[in-house]
Structure 1
Amino acid sequence: MNTRGVPADDGLRLMPFRGLRYVPERVGSLAAVTSPPYDVVVRPDGLLHLESADPHNIVRLILPQADTAAERHEQAAETLERWLTEGVLAPDPEPALYVYEQRKGEILQRGLIGALALSEPDKGIVLPHEDVMPHVVADRAALMRTTAANLEPLLLTYRGDGSESGAGAVIDRIALERPLLATTTEDGFSHRLWSVTAPDDLDRISQELTRHQALIADGHHRWATYLLLRDEQRVPGAWNYGLVLLIDTARYPLRVRAIHRLLNRLPVADALAAVEGLVRVRDVEGPLGNALEALAEAAAEGNAFLLAGDGGFHLLDRPDPALLARTVPTGRPEAWRSLDATVLHSTLLEHVWRVPDSPEEVTYIHATEAAVEQAERRGGTAVLMHPVREDVVRDLARQGVTMPRKSTSFGPKPATGLVLRSLSLD
């Protein structure tokens, strides 16, 4: 057993694959055919915007629109097949790992895209930290099953050892070469992609990764989908691998952001009335940036939430200890019991506001501004959260403790559409 918590030579196995990529001459621009991950697209506005950006935008595969789920999945499969036939998408000539770079201002992130061998959950090689919703897993599984493709990579992180002869050195050297593609998306991020095919480079990458475990930073539902689809197969094959982006956060630290909640049917006035006497409530002056600074200051001292949706901002902190003792489940580490997401779901949503955690009642939104805007538009309540530190997430994951779902948002997230994986090619 090594210091990374996995048996030697029994860690991460990232395999080359023949990536499917857009043919630049067949689309308006590479930027116009990309999308954020499927669960980050703000619907319906963001979906319509992406669909209109280019007729071949990847959102037509990851979020197809039709009357029934079966029709949506069939539509995605037919669209993928048509784009392949028409030469809109084409496979690379040989299997490769892909170096992927994202850059914006001082932010620089580089990692490897490949087909990761799917380990058993109890081996501790890939660590989830959030629970999943079965109906989302079922929907993603049906889409992958019907298209026979991994349409977007999961985001995984590991902590490298700083070796100058391992994967990091290969990545940084290749990033000096001419890329396969380069584009800048409308969020200001530049994206570049290179292929890694040299046997020596692939061996150096493999030798390092087998000493490490990875944390799922983004894509828990897709990871659960990969495992479900693998277990459906009678013999090992392409379904024993899943498309991932693997980042060494010792070299390229990710940013950790919160995922906010929109309570669709709970007006702010009702939310505030229900918590009276149970938490401290203070009105905070805008604009949004100022209110978020107040949230960060309060969160440094304990549980804190910022409510919005009525044109103002309301800071909730210092929940009644007796209330927490009565409502937060026991039998978990204190780090889990004190999470803002734990207190929000176990105490406020379930016991105080009595809001079921269902798609009709609660919408999860990554963009802070969008959460506030939609709350004001719908007459609901946006619950703005403060992010959890990565070390807290990793420590809980290593203990086998999952956080409440949608507790964190690691980024920057990979752009969807730059490289796809067809299981029929592997």
Structure 2
Amino acid sequence: MVDIRPFKATVLNPELDIDKLICPVYDTIDATNYQRFARERNNIIHVTTRRKDMDRDEFIGYAKENLDRLIDSKVLVEREKPALYIYGIKYTVQPEILIQIPEEDRESQYFALGLVCLVRVEELGARNIAGHENVFEINTKERYRLMKACMMNFSPIAVEYSMSDHGLNNILKEYLGFKRSASGAPDKPPLVDAALNGSRHLLWEIADENLIEKIMNMVSDLKILILDGHHRYTASCLMKETDGIEYTVMMLMESDDRALLLLPWHRAIRNFSIQNLEHKIKEKFSIEWQSEEYSEEFYAQLRERKSEYDIRIGMYDGKRFSVLRADEKAVQELLKQHREGVGIDLMVLHNWLINPVIKKPEEDVSFNASPAEAISRVRSREFDVAFFLNPLSIRDVERKAFVERNNFPQKSTLFLPKVAEGIVMRSIK
């Protein structure tokens, strides 16, 4: 049983210019972006995100000091009554990322809705809550120490659920009084309305006790899968075990929502023998397609699959784009060895092309959300070869988590949209 609860949200004071006070989730911020957001003294980044050159112990004290200052100065305020919340994210996808999506699924603008609530923490994979990516203990401990020092959840953990009749999404849309078209507008004014990096983040409050009760009953038999926030969730598990804090904040999104996108991370590699790589390609692959141009046809060829064992990897070597097709018999043998049926593309890429040729993966493999970024790294000669993957489906990830009960390696799945830090927070009582 999934146990959810309403809570009193902590939000940025709506009388302020909150566009300047929010920031992306901490683990998506590089050094350049940190400097950009940290210029504003009251930006929530000073509480949520450790500067790369800052000691971990120093960061915890720095974050607590800034949180106290933001609360004392009324930059952060708490709502009066416990409630559930609707979080809406209106966003667009850059053309170099959109090209990965089949043309019939592309939208000029996406609008995702989710229910924000407290969810009772349980061991991952034990009953109703599962994850799909491995975590690093050092990152979990840092999130735990931050939560413990500040007694605050700073952003909801993004999770997905399946509901065949779309009942929860229908309730949320009916409550807001609009249909989610690109030009549609809700009848109810939002509690929070902020812009971040070209996306718009909106928050509405559900305080009606009867409706809250109805929603609590509706979601009780769901199974939920963590999309973003594995370290925050494992930190919440540690907080339950160590401090008796039973709940954490989540944003529940329906898996069939067309605005919930699942994209791949692409790899670029360097410091390897090109002859060795060429040998590995000849050993297990045929070259299905080549061109000097980066085009729609490249992705059409990459997406083409004639059977479940037809695995294709895109490659760019600085001169031409290629689609490598793996030997199907070898793929079947690989699956027998691993006893897994989801994430075959990743297994093929790493087992046959990356791991055998790279000596220092932590230094010589880069992960790129944008294909254009991976291509640019090769063209600038920072890296030598880029590899491109097809996206997994939500159903694949659910199967990995709930049926196979295994995790993907880190940087296997890129979910959009991303929540922001500072839109909806929760003071841990």
Question: Which TM-score applies when normalising by structure 2?
Answer: 0.81
What is the rounded CA distance, in whole Å, between the counterparts of 1:309 and 1:84 in structure 2? 52
Q: How far is 1:184 from its partner? A: 3.2
Q: Per-residue CA shift, 1:99-146, capped at 9, x if unaligned?
A: 011224442211111221112335321121222233332333333333
Q: How far is 1:77 from its partner? A: 2.2
Q: Per-residue CA shift, 1:190-229, capped at 9, x if unaligned?
A: 2221111111111011010102111112222222222122
User: Does the C-alpha gap of structure 1 residues 279 and 46 become closer, same or farther in structure 2, counting only changes over 3 Å?
Assistant: farther
What is the rounded CA distance, in whole Å, between the counterparts of 1:69 and 1:171 in structure 2? 42
Partner of 1:4: none
What is the rounded CA distance, in whole Å, between the counterparts of 1:60 and 1:286 in structure 2? 44
Instruction: Assess if the C-alpha contact under 8 Å between 1:268 and 1:381 holds in 2.
Output: no
What is the rounded CA distance, in whole Å, between the counterparts of 1:328 and 1:292 in structure 2? 25
SS in 1 for 2:215: helix
Q: How far is 1:404 from its partner? A: 2.1
Partner of 1:39: 27
Q: Per-residue CA shift, 1:218-254, capped at 9, x if unaligned?
A: 2222222221222222xx3xx3211211012345552
What is the rounded CA distance, in whole Å, between the counterparts of 1:100 and 1:117 in structure 2? 19
User: Does the C-alpha gap of structure 1 residues 219 and 265 become closer, same or farther in structure 2, counting only changes over 3 Å?
Assistant: farther
Q: Per-residue CA shift, 1:256-307, capped at 9, x if unaligned?
A: 1112234364587874565344323454333365544443236987222223
Instruction: Assess if the C-alpha contact under 8 Å between 1:263 and 1:363 holds in 2.
Output: yes
What is the rounded CA distance, in whole Å, between the counterparts of 1:181 and 1:402 in structure 2? 38
Instruction: Assess if the C-alpha contact under 8 Å between 1:116 and 1:241 holds in 2.
Output: yes
Partner of 1:196: 206
Counterpart AA for 1:98: Y
User: Does the C-alpha gap of structure 1 residues 251 and 387 become closer, same or farther in structure 2, counting only changes over 3 Å?
Assistant: closer
User: Does the C-alpha gap of structure 1 residues 132 and 343 become closer, same or farther in structure 2, counting only changes over 3 Å?
Assistant: farther
User: Does the C-alpha gap of structure 1 residues 316 and 181 become closer, same or farther in structure 2, counting only changes over 3 Å?
Assistant: same
Counterpart AA for 1:385: L
Instruction: Assess if the C-alpha contact under 8 Å between 1:64 and 1:75 holds in 2.
Output: no
Identical residues among aligned pairs (%): 21
The correspondence for 2:8, drawn from 10, 18, 26, is: 18
Partner of 2:72: 85
The correspondence for 1:420, drawn from 412, 425, 429, is: 425
Q: How far is 1:373 from its partner? A: 2.9
Alignment of 1:237-256 (within 5 A): 239-250=245-256, 254-256=260-262
* Range 273-282 or range 92-101, more displaced: 273-282
Partner of 1:340: 345
What is the rounded CA distance, in whole Å, between the counterparts of 2:319 and 2:68 in structure 1? 47
Counterpart check, 1:59 vs 2:70:
no
The correspondence for 1:103, drawn from 72, 90, 103, is: 90
What is the rounded CA distance, in whole Å, between the counterparts of 2:351 and 2:285 in structure 1? 15
Partner of 1:6: none
SS in 2 for 1:330: helix
Alignment of 1:205-244 (within 5 A): 205-233=215-243, 236=244, 239-244=245-250
What is the rounded CA distance, in whole Å, between the counterparts of 1:299 and 1:244 in structure 2? 39
Counterpart check, 1:393 vs 2:397:
yes
The correspondence for 1:257, drawn from 253, 260, 263, is: 263
Counterpart AA for 2:321: F
* Range 241-250 or range 58-67, more displaced: 58-67
User: Does the C-alpha gap of structure 1 residues 309 and 47 become closer, same or farther in structure 2, counting only changes over 3 Å?
Assistant: farther
SS in 2 for 1:177: coil
Structure 1's unaligned 5+ residue stretches are 1-9
Q: How far is 1:91 from its partner? A: 1.7
What is the rounded CA distance, in whole Å, between the counterparts of 1:207 and 1:80 in structure 2? 35
Structure 2's unaligned 5+ residue stretches are 92-107, 177-185
SS in 2 for 1:143: helix
Instruction: Assess if the C-alpha contact under 8 Å between 2:129 and 2:225 holds in 1.
Output: yes
Aligned residues: 399
What is the rounded CA distance, in whole Å, between the counterparts of 1:17 and 1:260 in structure 2? 39
Counterpart AA for 1:153: P
Partner of 1:177: 188
User: Does the C-alpha gap of structure 1 residues 404 and 329 become closer, same or farther in structure 2, counting only changes over 3 Å?
Assistant: farther
User: Does the C-alpha gap of structure 1 residues 322 and 232 become closer, same or farther in structure 2, counting only changes over 3 Å?
Assistant: same
Counterpart AA for 1:227: C
Instruction: Assess if the C-alpha contact under 8 Å between 2:47 and 2:67 holds in 1.
Output: yes
Counterpart AA for 1:218: D
Q: State the Cα RMSD in Å.
A: 3.0
Counterpart AA for 2:386: A
What is the rounded CA distance, in whole Å, between the counterparts of 2:396 and 2:189 in structure 1? 38
Alignment of 1:303-382 (within 5 A): 303-308=311-316, 310=318, 312-319=320-327, 321-322=329-330, 325=333, 330=337, 332-333=339-340, 335-336=341-342, 339-350=344-355, 352-358=356-362, 360-377=363-380, 378-382=382-386
Instruction: Assess if the C-alpha contact under 8 Å between 2:90 and 2:201 holds in 1.
Output: yes
Partner of 1:128: 131
User: Does the C-alpha gap of structure 1 residues 331 and 383 become closer, same or farther in structure 2, counting only changes over 3 Å?
Assistant: closer
